[in-house]
Structure 1
Amino acid sequence: MSDADLTRLVGAGRLLVALDFDGTLAPLQDEPMKARMLPVAREAVDALVATPDTVVALVSGRSLDDLRVIAEHDDDSPLRLAGSHGAELWLPGSGLVPADDDPADIALRDDLRERAEAVTAHLDGVWIEPKRYGFAVHTRLADAETGERGRDAVDAIVRANAPHWRRRTGHNIAEYAFRHEGKDAAVAALREREGADAALFAGDDVTDEDALRSLGDGDLGVRVGEGATAASVRVADIPAMAALLSRLAAERAAARRE
């Protein structure tokens, strides 16, 4: 992060810091529910939360219930949450923002999830993760050929029965959902709700690029790790991301004491 980038964010009147979770604050895990923030990342997030005029949100593809577990998030937490790529919101003081789900969408979700589980049950290392608005196929524990067979089989089911669903890919995962919101929508909604003058968004995967591309001139996008990106800043890993956030928190706090 350049001095100009830092100065711009330090000087923002009200700043939204929106952060992906897996791969950005917490190492990727073979068993996804074991993911937890690295201690240095937790310290950085806590420092930002304590900084005046700074709002911190976790923006994840995880279902909100799962995100709350892995983020160790309770009802008293000041962290805003956007789960399911922004289709679910949790706000301090009010909790879950209600959303109307069409019973027909839920019924189709359950039917297709059952079919996906059936066609992948015999494939070692391939498993189906239930999500509120769909499901995901995990292949991290499978060899390349088996993982491809699993994805292809589920792709065929969704194409034939729900061609309007949104498909996303990430680190050894393919996700399918009847809601089409992306993380760009989550950042926009949080920015509006919080009256933020500027935003920082950080992520490590393809699904984070929606949000990174949506940022404006006064914002900052950060990519954690390798890969093509719209972000203007790249950091090597989670500790480097934590160091960037800690520096931002320290300098914003100092500026507000002056």
Structure 2
Amino acid sequence: MQFPTVEGEHQYDALVRVASRTVVGLDFDGTLSPIVDDPTKAHIHPDASAVLVDLAAQVDAIAVITGRPARQALDLGGLEEVGDAIQAVGKELFVFGQYGNERWSSSQRRIVGARPPRGLATFERDLPRTLRTAGAADAYIEDKGLAVAVHTRRLPDPDGAFARLLPPLSELARRHGLVIEPGRAVIEVRSPGSHKGMVVERLAADRDAQGFLFAGDDLGDVEAFDAIGDLAKQGVATLKVCAASSEQSALIPLADVVVRGPEGVLDFLRQFAQDAQAGRS
């Protein structure tokens, strides 16, 4: 665990004091699950289930907030079983998929989602031509139902393909009334109007949270970090945790705590749960 500033240590201590009224928000890929070449095989870290259940006993609620479809996150993370265990200790697990357009909870047990955005079908029709023009015809296309993700990780030059694709995909998305979400060797195209920061704001209000911790690793988590900053201005105890990697460093200067990948996140959450329990002893 690394605190870039003394202020980060103070924020951690303040959050421990209100742990029982704290919501813990977690990204999935790169935070709970290691980044892999095939996104359909990005299973949750093997230690994550036990850590989340132990943590749940010390906090108000846990929320997985991801760009993935909620069903994918539930299956890859075994989160329905985790939700059962968390429910058994009287707490709640939420899964917000597709940047908040889908919602599942351990108490309701069903996914509530939006309809595919207008313009997505025509975007997908025009996508192959754009990929060919950019010299990335073999990029892996992931259809998420409410969004489309273009992955460059499997290409010979992932970074170069990403750089070539970003401008034309941004323009194509704009023409179809959509927005892009750049990530680690992936460009996601989806409807405007929802992002992780909005989920953080709604969840904090719904739970009347006195504390909010969010851990993420990528550009798609910037809005969540911004929302955490706004909550801090309202007097909520907050902490922004960056799961740093060699591929992405955008969140490091914004973070209160920097750890190394999913293993670092889980080590941090173990320590937080232990400190919260000790504080109530």
TM-score, length basis structure 1:
0.86
SS at match of 1:46: helix
Unaligned ranges ≥5, structure 2: 87-92
Residue 123 (structure 2) pairs with residue 112 (structure 1): yes
Residue 181 (structure 2) pairs with residue 168 (structure 1): yes
Instruction: Give the partner amino acid of 2:271.
Output: R
Give the aligned partner of residue 242 of structure 1. Answer: 266
Find the aligned partners of 1:42 and 1:125 in 2 and give their Cα distance: 35
State which drifts further: 214-223 or 73-82: 73-82
Instruction: Give the partner amino acid of 1:65.
Output: R
Give the aligned partner of residue 194 of structure 1. Answer: 207
- Aligned partner of 1:83 among 83, 91, 97: 97
Find the aligned partners of 1:98 and 1:243 in 2 and give their Cα distance: 32
Residue 242 (structure 2) pairs with residue 223 (structure 1): yes
SS at match of 1:38: coil
Quote the sequence identity (%): 25
Residue 102 (structure 2) pairs with residue 95 (structure 1): no
Judge conservation of contact 1:16–1:191 (CA < 8 Å) in 2.
yes
Give the aligned partner of residue 255 of structure 1. Answer: 279
Q: CA deviation at 1:39?
A: 2.4
SS at match of 1:90: strand
Instruction: Give the partner amino acid of 1:178.
Output: S
Q: CA deviation at 1:148?
A: 4.3
Judge conservation of contact 2:70–2:111 (CA < 8 Å) in 1.
no
Q: CA deviation at 1:69?
A: 1.7
Q: Alpha carbons of 1:243 and 1:124: their partners in 2 closer, same or farther (altered >3 Å)?
A: same
Q: CA deviation at 1:96?
A: 4.1
Give the aligned partner of residue 48 of structure 1. Answer: 55
Give the aligned partner of residue 42 of structure 2. Answer: 35
Judge conservation of contact 2:68–2:98 (CA < 8 Å) in 1.
yes
State which drifts further: 145-154 or 63-72: 145-154
Give runs of ≥4 in structure 1 deviating > 6 Å: none
Q: CA deviation at 1:65?
A: 1.7
Q: CA deviation at 1:225?
A: 0.8
Instruction: Give the partner amino acid of 2:103.
Output: L
1:11-22 mapped onto 2 (5 Å cutoff)? 11-12=17-18, 13-22=20-29
Judge conservation of contact 2:218–2:250 (CA < 8 Å) in 1.
no
- Aligned partner of 1:58 among 54, 57, 64: 64
TM-score, length basis structure 2:
0.79
Give the aligned partner of residue 210 of structure 1. Answer: 223
Find the aligned partners of 2:110 and 2:31 in 1 and give their Cα distance: 24
Instruction: Give the partner amino acid of 2:25.
Output: A
Q: CA deviation at 1:231?
A: 1.7
Residue 174 (structure 2) pairs with residue 159 (structure 1): yes
Q: CA deviation at 1:9?
A: 1.7
